[in-house]
């Protein structure tokens, strides 16, 4: 499948283009079968695009067969970054030298320098609860003593989620945590592998990775 063709499908699956635009593209390109491959092309035209569940049906028909599931997750993630104003090489202008900082401070500053000042907004409607937004501050605003949650380490804030109702933290080993900012009773640790996976989960693109309760303060 050609990259431009795949991008059109990913745009449709991500909700970036309307059904009518996708339908027009599908039926008015004479060479589309050769670009998609016959099997993929006929699987697509067999989908009823007038059905309200046509996006879901398209995902069911294509994902894992013609398009890798991880490709769609990463595509959604990249779209969210671009909509927030991020681009490759973008850096927050701050006179900060991270080399000699404690690991937890360095990890937090690395994130803030790349995303500080940006707000990622959930644009999809996933099947499970997700925050409405993720806001990255332009400086470190909070450092929490992990001892009250059974951790012998400091946690450094790098983002606020769901209109500042919760906070994201990182520790010296680059573990990520979510803390309810209203009552601060339950600390959750992210069980995925990477920062981008965590953001994908929070924005509703990745249901497989998750936060698990780490400690409940009495």
Q: What is the pLDDT of residues 137-154, one digit of tens each?
A: 999 999 999 988 888 999
CA-CA distances (angstroms) from residue 182 to 1, 12, 100, 162, 167?
A: 48, 37, 33, 11, 10
Residue 129 burial (CB count, 10 A): 7
Three-class DSSP category at 10: helix
Residue 165 is assigned to a structural domain of this protein: yes
Q: What is the pLDDT of residues 88-135, one digit of tens each?
A: 877 777 777 777 889 999 999 999 999 999 999 876 655 556 667 899
Does some domain include residue 72? no
Q: Work out the widest C-alpha separation in the chain, in whole angstroms.
A: 66
204 and 101 co-located in one domain: yes
Q: What is the pTM of this model?
A: 0.80
> Is residue 98 domain-shared with residue 17, that is, in the same domain?
no
> How many CA atoms lie within 13 Å of 179's alpha carbon, on the beta-carbon side?
27
Residues 6 or more apart in contact with residue 51 via CB below 8 angstroms:
57
Same domain, 61 and 145: no
DSSP β-ladder status, 186-190 and 176-180: antiparallel
| Rounded-to-integer distance, Cα 196 and Cα 47, Å | 32
With residue 134 as reference, give the H or E element that holds it. strand 133-135
pLDDT of residue 127: 57
Domain for residue 93, yes or no?
A: yes
Instruction: Residue 127: give the domain boundaries.
Output: 86-216
The pLDDT tens digits of the residues spanning 67-83 come to 999 999 999 989 989 98
- Same domain for 36 and 94, yes or no, is no
Angle at the Cα of 187 from the Cα atoms of 209 and 126, rounded to 5 degrees: 35
The reply to whether 129 and 201 lie within a common domain is yes
In a shared domain, residues 106 and 188: yes
Distance between first and last Cα of the chain: 55
Domain count, the chain: 2
Percentage above 90 pLDDT, the chain = 44
What would the mean pLDDT of 37-41 be, rounded to a whole number? 92
Characterise 54 by phi-psi region: left (phi > 0), alpha (psi -120 to 50), beta (else): alpha
**Does residue 78 fall inside a structural domain?**
no
Per-residue CA distances from 186 to 33, 133, 150, 189 (Å): 53, 20, 12, 10
Given a cut of 80, whether residue 210 has pLDDT beyond it is no
* 124 lies in the same domain as 184: yes
Please give the full DSSP string across 72-88, using - where no structure is assigned. HHHHHHHHHHHHHT--T
């Amino acid at each position: 499948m050609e990259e431009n063709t795949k991008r059109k499908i990913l745009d449709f699956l991500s909700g970036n283009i309307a059904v009518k635009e996708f339908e027009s593209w599908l039926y008015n390109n004479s060479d589309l079968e050769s670009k998609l491959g016959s099997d993929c092309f006929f699987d697509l035209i067999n989908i009823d695009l007038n059905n309200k569940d046509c996006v879901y049906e398209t995902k069911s028909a294509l994902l894992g067969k013609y398009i890798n599931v991880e490709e769609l997750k990463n595509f959604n993630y990249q779209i969210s970054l671009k909509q927030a104003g991020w681009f490759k090489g973008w850096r927050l202008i701050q006179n900060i030298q991270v080399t000699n900082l404690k690991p937890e401070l360095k990890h937090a500053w690395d994130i803030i320098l790349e995303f500080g000042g940006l707000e990622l907004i959930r644009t999809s409607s996933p099947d499970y609860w997700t925050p409405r937004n993720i806001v990255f501050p332009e400086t470190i605003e909070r450092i929490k003593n992990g001892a009250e949650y059974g951790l012998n380490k400091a946690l450094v804030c790098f983002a606020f989620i769901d209109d500042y109702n919760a906070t994201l933290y990182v520790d010296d080993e680059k573990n990520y945590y979510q803390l309810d900012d209203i009552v601060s009773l339950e600390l959750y640790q992210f069980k995925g592998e990477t920062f981008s996976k965590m953001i994908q989960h929070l924005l509703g693109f990745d249901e497989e990775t998750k936060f698990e309760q780490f400690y409940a303060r009495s």
